[in-house]
Amino acid sequence: GENVEQHPSTLSVQEGDSAVIKCTYSDSASNYFPWYKQELGKRPQLIIDIRSNVGEKKDQRIAVTLNKTAKHFSLHITETQPEDSAVYFCAASPHGQAGTALIFGKGTTLSVSS
Amino acid sequence: DAGVTQSPTHLIKTRGQQVTLRCSPISGHKSVSWYQQVLGQGPQFIFQYYEKEERGRGNFPDRFSARQFPNYSSELNVNALLLGDSALYLCASSPPYSGNTIYFGEGSWLTVV
């Protein structure tokens, strides 16, 4: 079945720097890759997603890139702010499974210091 | 518009007991999914329901069951609770024609003692 690996597990940056989180997946038929942000004690919030027919997608300071050949996708956050501090999860939607059966990575704890 | 609502928010149960968690999807959403999130891990898929029918099941034992009602709300039941069932149980709903896009509720924190 699908397996999603996420790196790094923790990331510390200074305010204003960029942050990059990378995920790899195993099922080449996976076709949907969302990213979720989870603050302490809160629900995971969908922040951006990308489908397999697109290579890059941007939303203000956040961007996601997808390399289908290498089977990896990345989250890029520019001009980081303290409120970006949270746990970020990547996920993949494996082919042949229930439509909403996402496989999640183990998360990256991002700390932005001012 | 209200998001996905779940109840109860927190509960404590004893080993061997049974628990029922409830979820109301975002208005207009007909698909509901359930996930388990153990502390320090990503969410793990348990069930998906669409139009009251089970459309998918994750790698969970038969102690876990769910159902969806005509108003698209859903319940997750867990029987014979184990200490390892302690987790945040997340319900998510999906808008029509979105495929696999899901929006989570705030979750139900279950502690088994």
Torsion of CA A84, A88, A93, A97, to 10 degrees: -130
pLDDT digit string, tens, across residues B53-100: 999 999 999 999 999 999 999 999 999 999 999 999 999 999 888 878
Chain A residue numbers with beta carbons less than 8 Å from the beta carbon of B44 are: 104
Per DSSP, which regions of A26-85 are E strands? Answer: 32-38, 45-51, 56-59, 62-67, 72-77
Residues present in chain A in total: 114
Tell me the three state secondary structure of residue A83.
helix
Cβ proximity of B81 and B112 under 8 Å: yes
pLDDT digit string, tens, across residues A38-93: 999 999 999 999 998 889 999 999 999 999 999 999 999 999 999 999 999 999 99
- In this complex, do A104 and B43 lie within 8 Å of one another by their Cβ atoms? yes
Cβ proximity of B66 and B74 under 8 Å: yes
Q: Does B42 touch chain A (CB under 8 A)?
A: yes
Interface probe with A: pick from B6, B72, B102, most Cβ of A within 10 Å:
B102
Locate A73 and state its tokens: 């996708």
